Amino acid sequence: MDSARSWLQKLQKDKARPGASPLGAGMAGDDEDEPVLSSATKQKVEAAKQCIENHYKAQMRSLQERKERRYVVGVGCWRRSLLMLMYLKRSKTIS
């Protein structure tokens, strides 16, 4: 509780200071204070974005393949069970 109280007091002190920006200021709508990005930074951002997208796509592809494999195994088990039941029924009726 003390940590929450100290955090609140610090926040109130920041609000009381002239020129201090409140939390989240500059996030939306403040295009004037936005720094100009260099071309190298833009390239790094684009590369990171591409890497994240590729990772996500690979993860989704892997998940889909795993689901398909599990389905095939599940259907195979179901078919084996059904064939075993049919075999047992036949063997009991013949005997």
38: tokens are: 């260099």
**Domain residue ranges in the chain:** 45-95
| Residue 15 near residue 22, CB atoms below 8 Å | yes
- 21: left (phi > 0), else alpha (psi -120 to 50), else beta? beta
pLDDT of residue 88: 84
- Quote the distance between the C-alpha of residue 40 and its chain's center: 28
Confidence (pTM): 0.43
pLDDT of residue 83: 80
| Residue 75 near residue 68, CB atoms below 8 Å | no
Mean pLDDT of each 10-residue bin along the chain, 95 residues long: 67 64 52 77 95 96 90 75 82 65
